[in-house]
Structure 1
Amino acid sequence: MKKRVFTILAIAALGLSSVTAQKTIRLGYIDMEYILENVPEYQEASRQLDNRVQEWKAEAEAKMRKVEDMKTRLDNERALLTKELIEEREGEIAYMEQQALEYQQNRFGPNGDYIIQKKQLVRPIQDQVFSAVQQIAENRNLDFVFDRTADIGMIYADKQYDVSETVLRTIKRTANREQLESKDEIRELEKAEDRTVEQDAEITKREEQAQEKKSEREAFIEAKKKERDSLKSARQKEFEERRARILAERERKKDSILKLREKKNDTIN
C-alpha cells in the first residue's frame, strides 16, 4: 500500500512536470525505519523503552490476574456469604477491575506513556533527519522528498510548489461571490480573480501604505484638535477666573459702600 501511494505521488509529480513544461521535477525518498535501525543512540533508548514496556505489561497482567482470582473466590464462596457481603465483594472487584483497566489505558492508550515516550524517543532523530533532508534536497536540487515507510510521508517540498495561498484565495473568493448581488460587484470580483498572488501582494502593500498614511493624517488631525481644545479650555478657564475676580471685586466694593452708609447713619442718629 505504501509503495503504491508513493508510486502514485511520483507519477502525479511527473505529470505535473509535463504539463508545466518548466523543468523536470526531481524526487527523492528516505526509509525512516532503516535510518532508525542504524542510529546507535536510538537503538539503545529503544531497548530501554522496550524493557519498560515489558514491566508495564507484567504489572497490567498481574492486576487483571488479581481481579480474576477475586472473581473465582467469590464464585466459590457465594453460597456461604450473605447478600450484604456478596455486594461488598462485588463492589471491591468492580473497583479493582476499573483500576486495572485505567492502568492499561494510562500505559498503552492513545495518550498513554508508551506513545508519549515513543514520540519523545523518535523526535530528536526526526529533527536530524529533516535537517539533513533539507540540506541534501537543496544541494541536489530535489523538489520533493518522501518517506517510503509512511502512507503519505512528504517531508520536504520546494516552496515554489506551495499553492496554499492560492487555495486560500479561492476559498475566500467563493465566499465573496456568494455574497455579491450587483453586476458591478461581480465584475470587480472577476478582475480580482484574474490577479496573481504577486499582484495581490502588491495591491495589499499599496493599500497598507495608504492606510498607514491615512492613519498618520488622522493622528495629526486628532493631535491638532486636542491642541485647539486645550487652548479653548485654557481660555475658558482664564475667562471664568477673570469674571470671578471682577464679581468678587464688585461684591467687595458693594460691601464697603454699605458699611460706609451704615456708619454714616449711626453718626447722624
Structure 2
Amino acid sequence: MKKRIFSIVAILAISLTSAVAQKSIRLGYIDMEYILENVPEYQEATKQLENRVQEWKTEAETKMRKVEEMRTRLDNERALLTKELIEEKEEEISFMEQQALEYQQNRFGPNGDYMIQKKQLVRPIQDQVFSAVQQIAENRNLDFVFDRTSDIGMIYADKQYDVSELVLRTIKRTANREQLESKEEITEMEKAEERTPEQEDAITEREQLVEQRKNEREAFIEAKKRERDSIKAARQKEFEERRQKILAERERKRDSILKAREKKNDTIN
C-alpha cells in the first residue's frame, strides 16, 4: 500500500511540476486508523455497536434453535401423525427457518444493519477529519494530502490541479465528433468548442437545473412507492399474525386429540 501511494505521489509530483512551471509540490499524509483509535466518541460508539451485534447474534441463534426444536419434535411425533398434519408441520418449519435466515441477512448481510450502522458510525468522524485536513492544508499551503491506511489514497487536493472538467469535455467532444454526419452538425460542434469556460458553465447550469427537476420528480415517485410498500408490508404482517394464531389453534387441537388417543390406548391396554 505504501509503495503504491508513494508511486502515485511520485508520478503526480513529476507531472504537476511540469504543468505548473517547476512549482514546488507540498505533500502531507494522515493515518485514519490512528485518528479513529484516539477519538473517545468513536470508541464509545464502537462499544455500543458491538453490544448491539451480540444481541443480534443471540436473537439469530434463538430463532435457529427454535427451528431445530420444531424439527426434532416433528421427528418424534411423525409416527403418530397423518400425512396432512406432517405436511402442515413441515410447511410451518420451512416458514420459520426462512424467517430466521432473513433475520440473519437483514442484520449481517452486505446491506444489513451492521454494515449500515458501521458506516454511520465512521462518517461523522471522517467528516471532522476531512474538514480539519482542508483547514490544515490551506494554512500550510499543502497541495495534496493522502491517507496512508486507505485504498482511497488522496483525501485532499488543491482545486487548481483539478482538470476533471477539461477531461470530461474532451471526452464528450471526441464522442460527439465521431457521431456527426451532416455539415450542420459539424458546424454546431465547432461553435461549441469555441465557447469560453464561462459560456460552458452557463449551459451546464441550465442542464443541471433540468436534471435537478427530473431528480425531484423521480424522488416524488420513489416516495410514493415506499408509501405503497409500507402499506403492503403492514398488511403482510397482519396476515402473518392471523396465520400464526390459526396455526397455534390447530396445534392446540392436535395436541388435545393426541392426548385423548394416548389416554384411550392406555385404558385399553
TM over 0.5: yes
- For the Cα contact (< 8 Å) 1:6–1:152, is it kept in 2? no
Q: Which amino acid aligns with 1:14?
A: A
Distance (Å, rounded) in 2 between the aligned partners of 1:100 and 1:206: 55
Q: In structure 2, how many angstroms separate the alpha carbons of the residues matched to 1:5 and 1:71?
A: 54
Q: Structure 2: how far apart are the matches of 1:52 and 1:178?
A: 56
Relative to structure 1, the CA distance from residue 109 to residue 67 in structure 2 (aligned partners, 3 Å threshold; closer, same or farther) is same
Q: Deviations over 1:56-76 (max 9, x none)?
A: 111111111221222233234
* Partner in structure 1 of residue 43 of structure 2: 43
1:154-233 to 2 correspondences below 5 Å: 154-181=154-181, 200-202=196-198, 204=200
Shift of 1:135: 0.6
Quick one: distance in 1 between partners of 2:131 and 2:202? Answer: 37
Q: SS of the counterpart of 2:88?
A: helix
Runs of 5+ consecutive residues of structure 1 not aligned to the other structure: 208-269
1:73 aligns with 2:73: yes
Give, in angstroms, the shift of residue 51 of structure 1. Answer: 0.7
Q: Which amino acid aligns with 1:17?
A: L
Relative to structure 1, the CA distance from residue 192 to residue 62 in structure 2 (aligned partners, 3 Å threshold; closer, same or farther) is same
CA distance in structure 2 between the aligned counterparts of 1:206 and 1:127, rounded to whole angstroms: 31
Alignment partners' CA distance in 2, 1:57 and 1:179: 57
What is the match of residue 15 of structure 2?
16
Q: Which structure would you say has the larger Rg?
A: 1
State the alpha-carbon separation in 1 of the partners of residues 34 and 111 from structure 2. Answer: 26
Aligned amino acid, residue 169 of structure 1? R
User: Would the aligned equivalents of 1:17 and 1:24 in 2 still touch at CA under 8 Å?
Assistant: no
User: What SS does structure 1 have at the residue aligned with 2:24?
Assistant: coil
- Corresponding residue number in structure 2 for 1:30: 30
Report Cα offsets for 1:144-199 as digits up to 9, x if no partner: 21222221232211111211211221122123212334679758856865x6xxx7
TM-aligned CA distance change 1:90 to 1:8, over 3 Å: farther
Question: Structure 1 residue 45: deviation in Å?
Answer: 1.3
Report the CA distance shift for 1:81/1:185 in structure 2 as closer, same or farther (over 3 A): closer
Instruction: Provide the identity percentage.
Output: 78
Q: Conserved in 2, the CA contact under 8 Å of 1:143 and 1:158?
A: yes
Flag the 1:205–1:171 CA change in 2: closer, same or farther, 3 A: closer
Letter in 2 for 1:93: I
Q: Which whole-Å CA distance do the structure 2 matches of 1:204 and 1:122 have between them?
A: 38
Match of 2:267 in 1: none
Amino acid at match of 2:31: D
2:60 match: 60
> 8 Å contact 1:106–1:112 — kept in the other structure?
yes
SS in 2 for 1:96: helix
Contact 2:17 2:25 in 1 (8 A): no
Structure 2: where are the runs of 5+ without partners? 204-269
1:125 paired residue number: 125
Q: Label 1:49 to 1:203 Cα distance change in 2 as closer, same or farther (>3 A).
A: closer
Q: Is the 8 A contact 2:26 2:141 kept in 1?
A: yes
Match in the other structure for 1:259: none
CA distance in 1, matches of 2:55, 2:130: 33
- Aligned pair count reads 202
TM-score (norm 2): 0.66
* Separation in structure 2 between the aligned mates of residue 102 and residue 206 of structure 1, nearest angstrom: 50
1:6-58 CA distance string (max 9 Å, x none) = 23322221231343343232222211111111011111111111111111111
- The one-letter amino acid of 2:146's match is F
What is the rounded CA distance, in whole Å, between the counterparts of 2:196 and 2:130 in structure 1? 32
Q: Match of 2:99?
A: 99
Amino acid at match of 2:54: Q
Counterpart for residue 227 of structure 1: none
